[in-house]
Every structure is written in structure tokens, then in C-alpha cells.
Amino acid sequence: MLRWLLDPFHSDVVQRALIAGAIVAFLCAIVGTWVVLRGSAFLGDAMSHGVLPGVAVASLLGGNIFVGAMIAALAMAYGVSTVSGASRLSADTSIGLLLVGMLATGVIIVSHSQSYAVDLTGFLFGDVLAVRTSDIAFLTVALLLTTAVAIVGRRAFVAATFDTRKATTLGLRPTLAAAVLTVLVAVAIVASFRVVGTLLVFGLLIAPPAAAAIWANAIPRIMAVAAVIGVAAVGLGLVVSWYAGTAGGATIAATAVGIFFISFGAAALRRHVAKAGALLMAAVFVAGCGGGGEETAATTAPAVDDHEAPPAGAQESAEPVTRLVLVNPATGDTSVFDVLDEAETTVGRFGSVEKLSGDGRFGYLHGHDELTIVDAGSWTFDHGDHNHYYVTDPALAGTVGVAAATVTADQKVAVVRTGEGGVRLLNRDRLAEHETDPATADLGARRDAAQAAPRRDGVLIVTETGKLELVDDAGGVRPLPGNCPRATAPIVLSRSVIFGCANGALRVAVSGQEPTVTPVPFPAGGPAVALGPLQNRARHDVLAALAGDDIWVLDSGRRTWSTVPARGAVAVSTGDDGEVLVLTRDGVLHAVDTTSGAETSSVRVFSDGLPAEGPPPVIEVDSERAYVNNAAANQIYEIDYGDRMRIARILETDVEPGLMVKAGR
């Protein structure tokens, strides 16, 4: 058996083919891993076809075919980018059109040569057994250059592949990284097509990395396993080609694809075996537990469809898309700023705005006698164990003729507390359709609501006297335990609602059948002055509020309070675990450890301190970045609070951002 495998490699021709094929396998493993992870296989296929006219022209003119192939591949990539960017056509449509056009052009050019049949076959399917020593040298140089670029640009490639927003804010230039990856694809195709041809290079570029990705989950491991699979495909393909008399390049590509399907089948079999083993163990366990003769009943939760279609008019995003609703309070000029694209969309002018609040998608502009609702067009839908991210165009959702004091919302309803203590409900599904009046309803004739928040079976209300009540969908009122005098605007989390109170906080569970109320009293003494509104990082259960020259930090999960001194603070929010972000009047943004009270880092964002007039700046925080608005300079400062408060970007705005809320997370 061993002799049968080794006999073909006694030939110098096959030895050179093996060496060249192995180099190609390593080259395609590096580049193909990025192609697979980025989901750009169709572009790679198109580029492998698109080199044909360049090769044909170079061959007819007596030039270097590798130079011609590279020019054609880069022209193909540029054409896809230009056509899709300058029209409404998707990238796939642009790729399909250019693929056919380039391939047809190449065949037409080749057909004019006298050696049409031989040349075209060589271009399309390669001739691995005709590899020369100079070809091996060329492949080696291409592999070394590609490896060097992959090592140097690895950080940028990873960020551009998995989180373009983070790549942008880290200054890694994802557009340039994507262009470099496209050039690497072109290099791999040009270097490899002589071995396996323009039509079959795609097999080595995609099949080994795809097979490796089934078993490995780290990029270096995927590349290593893909290289091993690629070399194995080359060796086996040459052996089969030697004995079967088949085309070497085609056999190598077919072997690579065959290894992928074997790998895919093995992985599927492993999953089924594991599942069958788990079911068998469960059955044995149930049978053992039921051996006492008593009948037991089991219930199975219904399956949840994790692949529902996006809402009408929206697209699903692979990652959260952060947008900022910006308002000039004097004029009501309003825009939505996409922090990833740095694109600002003007929504309109709505007159004087006293306050701006948000719920993760909608911005609520509090006018003197009207509530204007702006759809930021970006939001996260929480399914409990996972999230879906959606985007659509920013727009005006509508207006409600009410003087709103506060607005709080969950995924289904927005609760508007009026200035007179009344409560009005807005159906957020109807808001998404930009309808307000038909979806608006008064909650009885209440005039004593100090604060209000949604719960899945009704509305939680804290009265002016500090009593906590649950008003159900039918209007029935149910008193709840707990006392919350001078309640502040609530924070709605995925499993609870938090009210700040003069005596501490109330945590009301929203996920269970019964509304469990947990008081979290202040430690002895409490704040010397009234507690300000609670602030928190998106979907985070640690909250902070200003009280004079102190910051009070509530860990709602642990039911504890702590204090941090912050003289001159005007805005606060929570950052990394165990830290709060504090903006002081001198224009410095501080990160402060909540345990020790020590400053861990800081950055000056306002060179001359905060302006004496106008609304104070705010700190809007998501999982990685904080945003601070500077109305006077028409700027937003994006702060990487996980990197010692580094100013990642300064975002220039058209609308004077006196008021700002975040959407998307």
C-alpha cells in the first residue's frame, strides 16, 4: 500500500507538482480562511474567473501572464465595488454580472489565438504536472509576502471581519483592511492558477478552510488545519491522477471538495451520536426515577424559532448598530447620527425642546405641550438567551399632543407620564409603523403618578405619596409592598425595573408571574441631598446617580449601595465593571473605581471647561464606548473607556447636539 502511494513521486515531474501544490495549499489556507470567515466566497469565485481576460491578453501580447492575471483580478474587485456602490444593485448582483462579462471576454480573446483549445484548457484547468522550478520560486515568494501581510494585519483583519464598528473606533481602517484582503485573494488566485487553473483554484481556496472551520474555532487553528487538509488533497489528488490518468489540477480540487463533505458528514454524525447518547441517558434516568410505580409527568418547552424574518422594512444586522439622536433644544433641529458610518440623517425641526429621552430605538422630544417621537432606525430585540439586531432608515414616527414628564419603555409599550400625573400608553409595534394616535390610550383618570414603568402584565406606578401599585391591562389596581418617596425616573432592565427613592431603591421583578418587590435601602445616613436620576450602561444592572458632590452606585444584582466622591460632577454613568464615568465641570471625564473611590484614568474633553449656559452634556454608554456631546463645537467625543479613556474619534455633527440619547443597544 505504501509503495503504491509513493511510486508516483519517484518522478521529478510529480515531485515538483507536489511541492508547488503544497505551497499553494498553504497560501490558500491563509487567504481562504479570511474568505470563509468574511462570507465572501462568491467574490473569490468571481475573481478566479475574472483573471482569464488578463491572462489571455498577456499571452497574446507576449507579456507576463501573472502580471496580466493580477491586473484583471484587481479590476474585477474594483468593478464590483464601483457598481454596487454607485447603484442600488447588491454586491452579489454586481459580482454575477462582472463574472459573466469577464469570463466571456476572456474566452473571446483566447478564441482568436491559433492554439485556442490547448490554451483555454490550460487557463481554465491548469497543468500541475508542467510546473517549473521558476514557478515554485514565484509561489514561494507569494507565500512569504502573504504570510507577512497576514501577520502584520491580523488585528485589523479580525476587527474588520467580526466588528467593523470596533475596527473604525480603534483606528484600524476596516475599508482599507477589506481592500488588502481582496488583494491577498487576488495574489492567491494569480499564484495558484497555473497549478490548478482559474476555474479550479476556488476549490483549494474554499474547501480546506471550510472543512477546517468545522473542527477549529480559532483563526490560527483554522489556517493550520486548512493547510494540512490542502496538502493532503494535493498529495491524494496527484496519486489518483497518476493511476487514473485524470487531469491533475481537477483531481486535486475535487479531492479537496470531497474532504470537505467527508468532514461535514463526520461532524453531523458526531452531533447525532452525541444527541442519541444524551437521549439514551435521559431515558435511563427517567426510567430509573419512575421505577417506584408512581406516574410522573414531564413538560417540554416549545421550540423557539431563532430565524424569524426581520420586521417589515428593516434588515437584520450581525452586530448592534449604535446611533445617536441629536437635538438642538432651542430650535428643535433633530438628526440621527450613525457612529459607524459617521453619517448624519436630518429628521426635521420641531420647535423648542425641553428634554430628550430614549428607549433604545425611539427618541422622545419633550416639547411644551407635545411629545415628538423620532425613530432612530436601530434597535436590539432581546429574546432572553440571545439578541437580534435590526436597522432601518431614521424617520419621524409621529407626535402625541401631551406634555410629557417622563417616558419609559420595554419592547412592547412606552409609558408616558404627563406633567399632570396622568399616564398614557403607546404601543411600540405601532410606533414602529409610525402610527401614534390609534395606538395611544389613557390609563384611567390618574393624576397622582409620580413615576411609571411598563411590566408585561400592566404598568407599575409609584404615586406622589410613595405607594407602589400595579395597574393591569383591564385597569384594575393592585397595591404592592414597598415605599418609594420622591421616586426618580425608573430604569427598565430585561428582568427588573429599578426606581430610585429618597430611602434607597425598589427593584421590581418583571420576568416572573408575580411582581416581586425588593427594597434596597441606603446604608446608614444616606445621601445628604436628593438623589438625581439613575443612569446605567446599556443592559447593565449597575446604576449610578449624582447626589451633591457624591455619586451613589447601586448594584441591583447584589442589592447594595456604595458611594464615590465626585466634587463638581455634572454627569455620570457606569463603565467597565467596578467603575463609573464622571464628567466634571472643568471638562474632564474621569473613570473612578467604585470600591476604592480612586481615579483609574481620565481625559480632558472640554479644553475650557463646561459652558455656563445650556443643558449640561450627557454620557451615553454602550458595551465598549462612551459618547459625550459638545453643543458649542457641534462635536461628539467617542471615548474608549476600556483603554484608559482614550478619545477614539471626534464626530462632527450638523445639528447642534445640545441634547443626545443613544439607540441601537
Q: What does the pLDDT look like over 355-399, one tens digit per residue?
A: 999 999 999 999 999 999 999 999 998 776 678 889 999 999 999
Grid coordinates standing for 426? Answer: 403607546
pLDDT tens sequence across 137-159: 888 888 899 899 888 888 788 77
Q: Can you tell me the distance from the alpha carbon of 193 to that of 499, in angstroms, rounded to the nearest whole number?
A: 66
Beta bridge partners of 460: 453, 470
Q: Which of 75-79, 347-351, 539-543 has the lowest mean pLDDT?
A: 75-79
Residue-wise DSSP of 447-491: --EEEEEEETTEEEEEETTSEEEEEETTS-EEEEEEE-TTPPPPE
Q: Can you tell me the distance from the alpha carbon of 523 to that of 596, in angstroms, rounded to the nearest whole number?
A: 17
Is there a contact between 578 and 594 (Cβ–Cβ < 8 Å)? yes
- The yes-or-no verdict on residue 124 having pLDDT over 90 is no
Which residues, 6 or more positions from 292, have their beta carbon under 8 angstroms from its beta carbon? none
- The yes-or-no verdict on residue 254 having pLDDT over 70 is yes
pLDDT tens sequence across 28-69: 889 888 888 877 766 666 676 677 777 778 777 777 777 777
For position 305, what pLDDT does the model report?
Answer: 42
Is there a contact between 551 and 590 (Cβ–Cβ < 8 Å)? no
Is there a contact between 663 and 360 (Cβ–Cβ < 8 Å)? yes
The bridge status of strand 423-427 relative to strand 378-382 is unpaired
Of the candidates 121, 100, 118, the residue with the CA atom closest to the CA atom of residue 50: 100
Residue 407 dihedral angles phi and psi, to the nearest 5°: -135, 125
Task: Indicate the SS3 state at residue 200.
Answer: helix
Looking from the CA of 395 toward its CB, the CA atoms found within 13 Å total 12
Report domain extents, the chain.
2-265
The mean pLDDT value for 638-646 works out to 88
Q: Can you tell me the distance from the alpha carbon of 638 to that of 311, in angstroms, rounded to the nearest whole number?
A: 30
Is there a contact between 156 and 43 (Cβ–Cβ < 8 Å)? no
pLDDT tens sequence across 177-226: 777 887 888 788 777 766 666 656 777 888 898 888 888 877 888 899 99
For position 292, what pLDDT does the model report?
Answer: 42
131, containing H or E segment: none
Q: In what side-by-side order are the strands of the sheet with 371-375?
A: 355-358, 362-366, 371-375, 395-400
Q: What would the CATH number be for the domain defined by 2-265? A: 1.10.3470.10
Altogether, the residues listed in the chain come to a count of 665
Which residues, 6 or more positions from 418, have their beta carbon under 8 angstroms from its beta carbon? 402, 403, 404, 405, 424
What's the mean pLDDT when you consider all of the chain? Answer: 82
Q: Can you tell me the distance from the alpha carbon of 598 to that of 592, in angstroms, rounded to the nearest whole number?
A: 6
First to last CA, the chain: 61
Which has more pLDDT, 96 or 88?
96
Say which DSSP state 360 is in. Answer: B
For position 611, what pLDDT does the model report?
Answer: 85
- The yes-or-no verdict on residue 541 having pLDDT over 80 is yes
Q: How far is CA 323 from the centre of its chain?
A: 13
For position 286, what pLDDT does the model report?
Answer: 46
- The yes-or-no verdict on residue 554 having pLDDT over 70 is yes
- The yes-or-no verdict on residue 506 having pLDDT over 90 is yes
The reported pTM is 0.62
Q: What percent of the chain has pLDDT over 90?
A: 36
Distances (CA, A) of 547 to 140, 345, 532, 550, 570: 67, 36, 6, 5, 10
pLDDT tens sequence across 426-458: 988 889 999 876 555 566 567 889 999 998 778
Three-point CA angle 105, 109, 112, nearest 5°: 145
